[in-house]
Amino acid sequence: MDTRVIRQAAATDATAFIDLWNALDVETEFVFYEPGERQASLEAQTMRLERAEKSENTCILVAVEQESSTLAGFAAGHRESNFRDSHKVILVIGLRQVYTGMGTGTRLNTGLMDKYVMGKMLTMRA
């Protein structure tokens, strides 16, 4: 059973998010950066998360391990703001290896899609 809490990322998650990115860089070959190559500052990550919190086109959800408050993974979605691409959503998901096979990734993905379908990011344009 998956005991992780799924919630919207907040600016206060910046340090934990950097730790998650660094872990994913080591654990998987399916990210853009090699281990140690990512240059993420706390200030820049805090600003990214603040912008996402305020954005109608971007949503970032995190899976938080209840006992340790460690970020187990994330799902981020971004909808383009130009009219012709406004129907598309770019989805990025990352999950620490130790949490695979427990339903956490599915819950992140479902939570993100629910945000889009329920209206945070899917505003039909005429």
What are the boundaries of each domain within the chain? 5-117
Which residues are 70's β-sheet partners? none
Structure pTM?
Answer: 0.83
pLDDT digits (tens, 9 = 90+) for 72-96: 999 998 877 777 766 677 888 999 9
Q: In degrees, to the nearest 5, what angle opens at C-alpha 65 toward C-alphas 23 and 58?
A: 70
Homologous superfamily (CATH) of 5-117 is Gcn5-related N-acetyltransferase (GNAT) (3.40.630.30)
Give the separation between CA 21 and CA 123, rounded to whole angstroms: 30
Chain CA centroid to CA 117, Å: 17
Contacts of 25 (CB under 8 A, 6+ apart): 31, 33, 34, 35, 36, 37, 38
